[in-house]
Amino acid sequence: QVQLVESGGGLVQPGGSLRLSCAASGFAVDSYGIGWFRQAPGKEREAVACISGSGRDTYYVDAVKGRFTVSRDVAKNTVYLQMNDLKPEDTAVYSCSRGGRLREPYGSSWSRNHRYDLSGQGTQVTVSS
């Protein structure tokens, strides 16, 4: 079965850290770019980070640069999002997506929703004191 399953969300205080996992099945994460997205209540879905299929390139939205790191473990077929120095504005449902319509080099296309063809159900991240 081709799917993505996220885990690792939760409640954390401002300044804290979380590591999200995105476990893929039915395809190899080193064959596709994998993006992380988030959606807060009342807001549009926003691309947060992406790792290219080759693993050579990573991409981040300005709001998380220096705080979030995307990585992967090919042997585990899993992509991670390490989130440090979390802020209340990071509160959202985070999901991972497969970039089935991404072609390297991605350029700005990494953040475009229509470049992704499969998404997981998401995991809630709440940053609050």
DSSP 22-39: EEEESS-GGGSEEEEEEE
Q: In whole angstroms, what is the distance from residue 75 CA to residue 72 CA?
A: 9
Give the max Cα distance, the chain: 41
pLDDT tens-place string over residues 36-82:
999 999 999 999 999 999 999 999 999 999 999 999 999 999 999 99
Residues 6+ apart with CB under 8 A from 77: 23, 24, 25, 28, 29
**What per-residue confidence (pLDDT) applies to 39?**
98
Residue 108 has pLDDT above 90, yes or no: no
Q: In whole angstroms, what is the distance from residue 11 CA to residue 96 CA?
A: 19
Cα 62 to Cα 26, 27, 48, 78, 80, distances in angstroms: 32, 30, 9, 24, 19
Average pLDDT, the chain: 96
